[in-house]
Amino acid sequence: MANLNGFNANNVEPAADFDPIPAAKYLAVITNSEFKPTKNNSGNYLELTFQVIEGEYKNRLLWARLNLDHPNETTSKISRGQLAAICKSIGVMTPRDSAELHNLPLMINVKLKKRSDTNELVNEIRGYSAKETAAVQNSSPAARGVAPWKR
């Protein structure tokens, strides 16, 4: 049991539904990270919480689970590759603690996928890139500083 003494729902705006956000690239930061055991306790994964920091979906949260300690070497290799992409995107190449990855902006590539158990659509982070790189690639020539007459 938890003591809720002092909480009054009349003074708090109810939470809205959390439908998945559209597939797109979003500027985000990692706000939390935690090692957790896998469901069958055969390994551990690093759970990263990402918060979108601009645009229509600002403050929405998304999660990534990196199976860094897993009995299947291929699974671990894929997760290490994802962690490397995150590190390169934010410029922290040799973190000693996952907290060193927090609050540094990067682009996350969000996709939609169907859950196998419920067929419900959910978000999945499928890629990471540096803030500057993504902004330059997705901007117009004028925004990149290229004069319209030099295209």
Q: Say which CATH number the domain at 41 has.
A: 2.40.50
Calculate mean pLDDT across residues 72-93: 97
Report the number of distinct structural domains present in the chain.
1
| Predicted structure pTM score | 0.78
The answer to whether position 10 is within a domain reads no
Largest CA distance in the chain: 68
Is residue 38 scored above 90 in pLDDT? yes
Residue 2 domain flag: no
Q: Which domain holds residue 88?
A: 18-132
| Cα dihedral: 111, 114, 117, 120 (round 10) | 100
For the chain, give the mean pLDDT. 88
91 belongs to a structural domain = yes
| Residue 73 counted as domain residue | yes
- Cα–Cα distance, 89 to 84 (Å, whole number): 8
